[in-house]
Amino acid sequence: MAPPRNPHSRLLVIAPLVLVLAAVIISATAGRATGPTVDELGLSSEARRQLSEHGFVVVPGGSGDFPETYAALAERDLPVFVTSDSVLRVTDLLIDRILRTIEEVYLYDRLEQLSREMVRLLDDDYLRSTDALVKEAARRDLAFFAVGLSLLDPDYFPPEFARGLVERELELIEAANRVVSSPIMGPTPLDQVVGPGEDYTCYAPTGHYASSERLERYYRALTWYSRMAFALPERPVEDYTLTVQALLVIRALEREAGEWFELWERINYPLTFYYGGAGDPTVADYMELADEVFGREFERDLAASESLLVVFVDRVSDMAPAHVQTHELRGMRFLPRDFPPATDYFGLLAGGEDRPLPTSLDFMSLLGSSAARSLLDESDVFDDSVYRRTHESIERELETMTYGDWTRDLYWGWLHCLSELQLPPSGKAPRFVASPAWGFKELSTGSAAWASIRYQAADAALSRRSHRSPAAAVDIPVLVEPYPGLYSRLGELLENLRDRLWEHYLLDDSIDAHMSEMIDFLKSLERASEGILMDGTPPPDVAAALSDYARVLGRLAGHEARRRPGEHACVLVSDVAYEDLDTGRILQNAVGTPDVIYVVADLGEGETVYAGAVHSFFEKELADREELDAVGWPSVLRSCPVNRPYWVRRFVVE
């Protein structure tokens, strides 16, 4: 039965926005300030030249996040430029905030309950099995789930016959500082390709997971369940222990009328929508194939049948070929791992040591950025026939994707939104949009937004510090960056997320209220954009509601951002974008604190200079992991202009 939904939640959500509009619409139609002149902005001569030539210019900003930057601009009585960057940023924060809420309130308890039941079921398998291979597989399976349960419930005490395995595993997870074979999962065929064992440094909580002990525990358990693969074997049946383990796991989930498989679904599918699919076989995939090969609810000792194991492994191999980037053999993962689609594309485009690694340019080009394509043409990468054919093949793949393909999870939905941003707006767009330099600004916006959604680390430490809202804010003119398609797609992305949460009993009134307010905000931006492109001006009610934009952003994000203790002001997000396992080279990118953009536009009352905040984006290729550890970000960004991509100079004046 579908979960009940509060029929009054929409009214609860719309009311605040309506009140805001009603409160400011009257005063917004009064005399409008035109703001400071160009000479009063304090820009350098080069910045003034670019502002005159292109109709816009970007200069380095301060040390805050978007609400802080807009508040500082409001204190200077500058007309407001609502940027796509700020909208993408606040949408990203909301998505991450919702994830944090459902994990802490719902998924933690579900995962703890499922772990406890799996320990119970596999303990029964261990005690009752008469086959040595199955008995050892059951012992290791019990230890596998006992690790997850121990991470979630510190008072849990594993049984004696598995305790040594569990304790050694927990020591490695807690230390989070070694690369070594897992005591429970042991050496796997993957070790010959991706390195000797598991990288336990990945178990150190980052992002919002570092904000509480409960989330730290959840993060370690989730990482354990999503990283450990029951890898397919390369050797004879006596080395099929991991496959036998996987078969016992799905057999346990099918017992007791499938109750625990249903619980697994209520954990797995929301996470899959958030993290995307890596192409690894899931519990559901293994269950379907096992029913065909072994029979539904097969006897536990049948899992050791050599003839059936060979057939089963062949069927799984046919369903899930090796990874493009790592060439690693697939294997069932209990929960989905984070594996962005860019990883496979970068692996296909990488061309060895004689050519630089693929970067954000390659990816944004695939999403339709003409600016990125022009830069790739200038660098002659298409002279490489292998690169050219691969790029064209990926382009064709993306062109044939359906709406359902684009919206199957948040990663693809986000890329669907960013592809809209790479298209020039049509109609009566302001002069700055038609500037050749504007495409490079949108290239930077798309690259930064792509980096931010990948890492989910932007909201790690937030305060509730408020900012002064100027009394005259309602009289300040407002210009919205005119991309109605972008705002429409972002709204659809959130609607899709809301439907998935409702489907899996994760949508409460509070989450619904926040999402509805954001969707209404996006609809108002879409309407404002359409007004600018048709009539040259945004509707007065929308402009009035956005004139105190710093407060709007702070309310929608739920917090006001500040930097983390010990972190340099310039960095919000930093991580590895791609690692080429063949050459060892690493592409590192980061999103810094916002730059300030000035644009000149005439909305019918003469030319006015508007000011807003845009992402600062950084990118660097490193030779190997040693250089990454030695140089490390954010330390390389002590001076914020360091490691900006070269093409940023086409619109940023430092």
Q: Is 202 exposed, middle or buried (0-12, 13-18, 19+ CB in 10 A)?
A: middle
DSSP annotation string for 550-565: HHHHHHHHSSEE-PPT
pLDDT-derived band of residue 192, with 50, 70 and 90 as boundaries? Answer: very low
State both tokens at 77.
């009585």
Beta strands in 285-362 (DSSP E): 331-333
pLDDT-derived band of residue 573, with 50, 70 and 90 as boundaries? Answer: low
pLDDT, tens digit, 9 for 90 and up, residues 28-57:
333 344 667 888 888 999 999 999 999 999
Q: pLDDT at position 216, please?
A: 95
pTM: 0.86
Can you tell me the distance from the alpha carbon of 519 to that of 489, in angstroms, rounded to the nearest whole number?
A: 10
Q: Where are the domains of the chain?
A: 96-339
Q: Answer with the residue of higher pLDDT: 429 or 329.
A: 429
Q: pLDDT at position 236, please?
A: 52
Q: pLDDT at position 560, please?
A: 41
Q: pLDDT at position 458, please?
A: 37
Rg, C-alpha atoms of the chain: 27
Q: Answer with the residue of higher pLDDT: 578 or 442.
A: 442
Which of the residue ranges 262-266, 298-302, 371-375, 419-423 would you say has the lowest mean pLDDT? 419-423
Look up tokens 């905000």; give the residue: 521
pLDDT-derived band of residue 234, with 50, 70 and 90 as boundaries? Answer: low
Q: What percent of the chain has pLDDT over 70?
A: 80
Q: pLDDT at position 631, please?
A: 54
Q: Are 325 and 274 in contact (CB under 8 A)?
A: no
Q: Are 180 and 196 in contact (CB under 8 A)?
A: yes
Q: Kindly report the average pLDDT of the chain as a whole number.
A: 82
Long-range own/partner contacts, residues 35-38 (CB < 8 A, 24 or more apart): 35/77, 35/78, 35/79, 35/476, 35/477, 35/608, 35/609, 35/610, 35/611, 36/76, 36/77, 36/78, 36/609, 37/609, 38/600, 38/609
Q: Are 198 and 144 in contact (CB under 8 A)?
A: no
pLDDT, tens digit, 9 for 90 and up, residues 444-478:
999 999 888 765 543 333 333 333 444 444 468 89
Q: pLDDT at position 34, please?
A: 61
Can you tell me the distance from the alpha carbon of 383 to that of 354, in angstroms, rounded to the nearest whole number?
A: 13
State both tokens at 628.
């990454």
pLDDT, tens digit, 9 for 90 and up, residues 614-624:
998 888 877 77
Mean pLDDT of 530-541: 85
Which of the residue ranges 2-6, 304-308, 355-359 would you say has the lowest mean pLDDT? 2-6
